[in-house]
Amino acid sequence: MAWLEYLLPLIFLFPLAAMAGIVVALRNLHDARVHSPFDAQPLREPGQHLRNRLDDAFAGLYLSGALGPIITLAPLVYGMGRMLFATQPIWVEWALYGALSTLLVLTFSFRLMRDFQRIRRLKLGLACELAVGQELERLVRPQAHPFYVFHDVPAAGNRIDHVVVTPCGVFVVETRARPRPVTPSGERQHRLVVERSRLRFPGWSERKPLNRTRELAHWMAEWLSARTGHTVPVMGVLTLPGWQVDASRGPDDLLVVSGEHLADRLADLCPGEFNAATHDAVIATLLEHAGASQAPGE
């Protein structure tokens, strides 16, 4: 029965399959997401969405690194089993097993490189968001200065990095991480010129960060107005930690800064009329929407 020559070598794959099952079962071992013991809601910190994506990226790296060798060896192990049970050598078939293993090695190598680069980008973005979040925490002051800071707020199918409520208005704070290029002499370039519709970095320009921050600010203003029944002044803030920002020609409706001393700047800005009743209504709405209690300044 010729079909037994192809069925019996599967026995040699059982140990590999068992190892692969263990690897898959342990894939969420690195997941650091936790839930509140009080209301079972996910606990949110600055850059929480990046933390979640980083956990997913590490899980992908783990699967690629652990499953890669197992899956790559499978054709070779099966081919060795075929050699034991085959009545005559079939060199073309064994060459196909070798080619398949080579293709799998290349595939998982590219996946590992992709996951590594993704983790580097996410860690840079998380570091920038944590730096800005730490700066914004300085707004938490005594009750005479009712500042509130919300992190990782759901909005329009996405998430806002930070929402700051001051006695003068609401600020939607977005953080973007961009590596600073290095000149041939080894000097890092860190000057960023802000224009009305784009950011000019050394060697390239971008429009999307400005447009995205503006869209989120408009969405937040409309959403808060609909929820509270009051006109709420909202201003978008784009931070780029580590850059020397020249915003002299920047847009009037957005604040583009490096993030240094951001708390002091927001405390002095007044994007519009904002009375105490509207302020309290906005705080209550955001507390409910964020799904987790945020403490006022104490």
Domain assignment present for 135: no
Domain assignment present for 298: no
Residue 294: per-residue pLDDT: 42
Residue 48: per-residue pLDDT: 80
Based on the domain organization, do 166 and 285 belong to the same domain?
yes
Residue 140: per-residue pLDDT: 64
Under 8 Å between Cβ of 13 and 78: yes
User: What single DSSP character describes residue 67?
Assistant: H
Q: Which of 63, 92, 126 is the last residue of a domain?
A: 126
Give the range among 46-55, 221-230, 278-287 with minimum mean pLDDT: 46-55
Based on the domain organization, do 76 and 175 belong to the same domain?
no
Based on the domain organization, do 109 and 56 belong to the same domain?
yes
Based on the domain organization, do 110 and 30 belong to the same domain?
yes
User: What single DSSP character describes residue 35?
Assistant: B
User: Torsions phi, psi of 174, nearest 5?
Assistant: -110, 140
**What is the CB neighbour count within 10 angstroms for residue 132?**
28
Based on the domain organization, do 78 and 166 belong to the same domain?
no
CA–CA separation, 30 vs 27, rounded Å? 7
Based on the domain organization, do 144 and 122 belong to the same domain?
no
Number of domains comprising the chain = 2
Domain assignment present for 278: yes
Based on the domain organization, do 275 and 144 belong to the same domain?
yes
Q: Which two tokens stand for residue 21?
A: 């099952």
Contacts for 69 with CB less than 8 Å, ≥ 6 apart: none
Domain assignment present for 78: yes
Contacts for 181 with CB less than 8 Å, ≥ 6 apart: 188, 189, 201, 202, 203
Q: Which amino acid is at 131?
A: A
Judged against a pLDDT cut of 90, whether residue 292 lies above it is answered with no
What percentage of the chain carries pLDDT values higher than 90? Answer: 31
Closest CA relative to residue 156, chosen from 227, 212, 231: 212
Based on the domain organization, do 62 and 169 belong to the same domain?
no
Based on the domain organization, do 37 and 118 belong to the same domain?
yes
DSSP conformation letters of 232-292: --EEEEEE-TT-EEE-TTS-SSEEEE-STTHHHHHHH---S---HHHHHHHHHHHHHHHTS
Domain assignment present for 180: yes
CA–CA separation, 249 vs 113, rounded Å? 40
- Look at the pTM and tell me if it is higher than 0.85: no
Judged against a pLDDT cut of 80, whether residue 45 lies above it is answered with no
Based on the domain organization, do 176 and 119 belong to the same domain?
no
Under 8 Å between Cβ of 289 and 164: no
Domain assignment present for 297: no
Q: Which of 71, 103, 126 is the last residue of a domain?
A: 126
3-state secondary structure of 214: helix
Based on the domain organization, do 29 and 116 belong to the same domain?
yes
Based on the domain organization, do 14 and 56 belong to the same domain?
yes
Q: How far apart are the first and last CA of the chain?
A: 82
Distances from the Cα of 50 to the Cα of 121, 173, 196, 232, 294, angstroms:
10, 15, 28, 29, 20
pLDDT tens across 136-162, in order?
A: 776 665 444 578 888 889 887 888 999
Q: Which of 98, 126, 154 is the last residue of a domain?
A: 126
- CATH code for the domain of 202: 3.40.1350
Domain assignment present for 296: no
Q: How confident is the model at residue 34 (pLDDT cuts 50, 70, 90)?
A: low
Whether the CA torsion 89, 92, 93, 97 is positive or negative: it is positive
Domain assignment present for 280: yes
The domain in which residue 283 lies consists of: 140-290
Residue showing tokens 């699967």: 63
